[in-house]
Amino acid sequence: MNRNLYNIHILGIGFMFVFSAFITAGFISAIVLKDFNSNGIDSKTGFYSLSIIYACLGLANWFSPAVVKKLGPELSLFLSSIPYTGFIYCMIEPYMWSVFTLSALLGFGGAVLWTACGEVISKNSPGDTKAKNTGIFWSWFNSSMLLGNVFLYFYLGDSAKISDTKRYVIYQVLGVLCTLGMFTFLLLAPVPDEPTKSEEDASIVPFFLIFTRKTCVSNDVERENAIEEKTEGKPQSVLQPIVDAARFCKTREMCLLYLPIIFTGVSLNYWSSVFITSVGNVFPNRSYLALGGISTGVGEIAAGFIWGRLTNKIGRHGVIIASTIINIFLFVLCFISFPSDAATTTAAVAEETPIIPSSIYLALGLGVLLGLGDGGFNVSIYAAVGTIFESNPAPAFAMFKFVQSSVGAAAFVYCGHLILPYQLGILTVTCVVGCISFAFLDKSPSRKLEEKAVADPEQDKFLQTPA
């Protein structure tokens, strides 16, 4: 295995452990806090916590490129995953102040985590390997939905309520998983900015060994010298990524990406909280929460394999169109099979009557479709951003997460109050509009982007012509 592929797998494994803890905690947070109902916490606290997380994540994305540039992506991944561990442990005995404070810290850490992730994927995906490597990462990342939820399913059993004792055990186990993922990031091998063929096949040296091995120090010095020669002795400010990110706002390519990114923000809210909360409010057996998370995870993992390999055959726009068809079919089935108060009821179970009887088997099928549809959009957007902005990816990924997280934060505010049919309507409109916008972007002739870069090299020096 060459160094690039090694790093993609290590990155994915680290994310799998960290998000086995965080996604599972996020899935069940609304129901856990609803069952807890103490220390000033009620059924809406889980939604507000997630809103704070994504609001802070969106804000911090303006500064995360500078942090990644200063610390490097490997160390950034390690340090930014620490708040995730703190947030999970605070849920063992939640208080309003601790939940909201750790939510904010997690949001700031998450911005750095995802910006560093985008840079690692981009640097380790030379040539036309971006779609494939993004698919590999996406599959590892979404395996987190299986790992945490399989434990949850067997531990909760037939419980109708998550008791204090069960909550203690759940969050202690999730905390250990998150810590394991945090240290996994130290196994990443540093990659030169412009690796040669021999460098790609060189021996793999984990990142944490740069503090103890002279060979790594030597390689690091050579890398710094190469960068200095490339910039002709003119060091770039760590704030330059913020300037670049601000420039991205005005480019035609980023403007066309805004609409599909907006859909991923609304979809993030739906699959990570609303769908699972609806399952918990319709079916009183708490182990069904885990089954809902597992089914969504199966869909997301399948999306990484399927869409990552189909991209080269049907194109990114083809993947987006197929994902849109799946999403619309999914939203219609959710509309007719879930009660309108499934996401908002404060009672033990939803009290409205759906158009067709609710079924846990149908709900699990919807979870798979949800993962497939959401994964298609995310895989395509990651591949597009990594290709179009290849020469300077960190600010581009930061803008992606800024828009996605800001929209997600707004959605988490209204999702506890807006009945399900209205939320499904918002999802449908943003999905269709995002599909159309992405199709325009992906059909743009590469020659025009090439001419644009030549015509105004200073303004668009961070743009790379799509392969």
DSSP-derived 3-state class of residue 17: helix
Q: Is the pLDDT of residue 226 over 60?
A: no
Average pLDDT score over residue span 432-461: 58
Q: Name the percent of the chain in helix, strand, coil, to the closest 5.
A: 75, 0, 25
Is the model more confident about 223 or about 15? 15
396: CB partners within 8 A, 6+ apart: 118, 245, 248, 254, 385, 388, 389, 462
Average confidence (pLDDT) over 354-363? 90
pLDDT classification of 202: cutoffs 50, 70, 90:
very low
304-333 tens-digit pLDDT: 778 877 877 888 888 999 999 999 999 999
For 3-455, which CATH superfamily applies?
A: MFS general substrate transporter like domains (1.20.1250.20)
Over residues 98-146, the pLDDT tens digits come to 888 999 999 999 889 988 888 898 888 887 777 778 778 877 887 887 8
Q: What is the pTM of this model?
A: 0.73
Of 71-80, 197-206, 332-341, which range is least confident? 197-206
Which residue ranges make up each domain of the chain? Answer: 3-455
Note the pLDDT tens digit of each residue in 244-271. Answer: 667 767 778 888 889 999 999 999 889 8
Please check the confidence at residue 207 and state whether its pLDDT lies above 70: no
Q: Using 50, 70 and 90 to split pLDDT, how confident is the model at 286?
A: confident
HEC per residue, 356-375: CCCCHHHHHHHHHHHHHHHH
Identify the residue with better confidence: 328 or 44: 328
pLDDT at 217: 40
Higher-confidence position of 444 and 407: 407
270: nearest Cα among 53, 397, 428: 428
